[in-house]
Chain A
């Protein structure tokens, strides 16, 4: 049984311009000890999906099953218990830490909140273990977040997420705000943690090169919907959806030997408000045709485990 099952998840916001379909019928599963990459640009709904799964934002409809438990239907008590197993690492290491609390207080807070350990000395022992796990020096124990750089602060975020020994961590763009060399340090740390503790990740990012390196499976999102879903290997070798292809070709490659055939998309990324009933990508797509404006395409399994939402796709088909 999969660790996490998300079925038909929807989150709509009422705005002055109309109903914003931030997350529109998203489904996927996550196995134990694996990483699912959730990829897309601004407004695609990936962050909202991550938060909705954890019920930091209440979903409008849909089902989420974590370790067999129905997350959406859980009551307050049940949710508190669930939260020990599903944690989150935030994107911005500057705003996700209370500036008035010391590092020790920040990391011990989840422990004290869940009351797994009650003894003051034991709590501190655990805090120091976590410091060690994420590579922070003990002498920082009474420092404040503003005294540290972005990379160290993100390690605190990771330590906090690990404090309750969760089974799954939603990583919401955990390295986007960091410098390149620090990014690599943090990614390595996350990988080590997965190897040693078997933690599953939902890795939300817009950076395809990072998600390629890190994920087992990848789901590409556009305007609230998953347009393509496959294992990482398969997605990079054989991208089918026009948006995925454009996204891949847009990544600047730091290698002179690679000849670039860039797909430039026309138009802008719009907001998922009051969208007509058609393929959401068709207005920008270079491969669009008549049928694309007739409705929303369903997901089609073109290869085992490789799903694409495009009218031009037929089951068990490779290159488009």
Chain B
């Protein structure tokens, strides 16, 4: 029974790409929930499976070679698994919107920005061309671009402004859920600050829920309410912002924090995580992080941990916590 308080409920999502080099296990059995008006930060490095997860929410994974298997996937009240493709198109852009990573290539170079924002309105809200265009220009102003620039082409805008246009398109139909895939990675730091402020403002104004995919823990600290950390296609830790940052549990999450240069303490040595993320066609048995984990024991290489609740909303997937006396170096005990 779908929970009325949750805008997103995923149980046991599995995405596998069948290629000639082997089966790429991009996402391996993840569970996610998100409440209305909340922002979830999906954190991980390249290859963790964050983008694949986001794409599968909108069923944008190409069918060969990608195969989605899932027990439950309910987004904004829609059962995404049972929905026929024709209805899916009605949801994409309307109930659920997505912002992709690279603003340079997300916009069609032969249409003006006004037209591209209006397109979404024409399709989903069945507005006439002129009404849609008027609304589009209003959206442009909302994202801080003067009306007069509505009939300019994407190449006439800078990277930061292009990303604002992309945000305008995504928010034009007032979606319930916005998925933003590394929306500021390609932008300069000061522009990133502007865009993040904009996203926060719009999100609050429209009561939009958001999934923010990023590798930058600093952005997560600013924008998110909840965090899920992914590694090799699995969620290794999830919880509220405070739980993840101040009561870190999983060794990988700890490793991520330790890899960051501390801006307040110059001399602190960086403690990188040794090794590399495993090849998704050849995942190790047992815990996928064990080969790189400083706390790993023999058992970790054989048995796979499950995501278990430690306290309140804080979940961690680590065999070490089966012993009550275990704790990692970072955070409160």
- CA of A188 to CA of B274 in the docked complex: distance in angstroms? 12
Chain A 191-215 interface residues, beta-carbon cutoff 8 Å to B:
206-210, 212-214
Instruction: Identify which of A232, A236, A255 gathers the most chain B CB atoms within 10 Å of its CB.
Output: A255
Do residues A184 and B276 form an inter-chain contact, with CB atoms below 8 A? no
Do residues A179 and B190 form an inter-chain contact, with CB atoms below 8 A? no
Instruction: Identify which of B158, B196, B270 gathers the most chain A CB atoms within 10 Å of its CB.
Output: B270
Q: Which partner residue on chain A sits nearest B158 by CB separation?
A: A268
Q: Could you tell me which A residues sit within 8 Å of B by CB distance?
A: 41-42, 149, 151, 179-185, 187-188, 206-210, 212-214, 232-233, 236, 246-247, 249-256, 260, 262, 264-265, 268-269
B188 adjacent to chain A (CB < 8 Å): yes
On chain B, which size bracket covers the interface?
35 or more
B60 adjacent to chain A (CB < 8 Å): no
A-chain residues with CB within 8 Å of residue B190 when the two chains form the complex:
41, 246-247, 250, 265, 269
What would be 28 A-B contacts, judged by CB atoms less than 8 Å apart? A179-B215, A181-B256, A181-B273, A182-B276, A184-B271, A184-B272, A185-B272, A188-B270, A188-B272, A206-B188, A208-B189, A208-B263, A209-B262, A213-B261, A213-B262, A213-B270, A214-B261, A246-B190, A247-B190, A250-B189, A251-B189, A254-B216, A254-B218, A256-B221, A256-B246, A268-B160, A268-B191, A269-B190
A-chain residues with CB within 8 Å of residue B266 when the two chains form the complex:
212-213, 232-233, 236
Do residues B158 and A269 form an inter-chain contact, with CB atoms below 8 A? yes
Secondary structure dominating the interface of B? helix
Do residues B255 and A42 form an inter-chain contact, with CB atoms below 8 A? no
Given A181-B272, A188-B272: A252 and B218 within 8 A (CB)?
yes
Do residues A255 and B221 form an inter-chain contact, with CB atoms below 8 A? yes
Interface bits B177-195 vs A (CB < 8 Å: 1, else 0): 0000000000011111110
- CA of A253 to CA of B221 in the docked complex: distance in angstroms? 7
- CA of A208 to CA of B271 in the docked complex: distance in angstroms? 18
A-chain residues with CB within 8 Å of residue B218 when the two chains form the complex:
251-254
Do residues A149 and B276 form an inter-chain contact, with CB atoms below 8 A? yes
B-chain residues with CB within 8 Å of residue A187 when the two chains form the complex:
261, 270
Q: Which partner residue on chain B sits nearest A269 by CB separation?
A: B188
- CA of A264 to CA of B196 in the docked complex: distance in angstroms? 11
Q: Which partner residue on chain B sits nearest A233 by CB separation?
A: B266
- CA of A251 to CA of B159 in the docked complex: distance in angstroms? 18
Q: What is the distance, in angstroms, from A113's C-beta to the closest C-beta of chain B?
A: 31
Chain B 140-177 interface residues, beta-carbon cutoff 8 Å to A:
158-161
Q: Which partner residue on chain A sits nearest B215 by CB separation?
A: A180
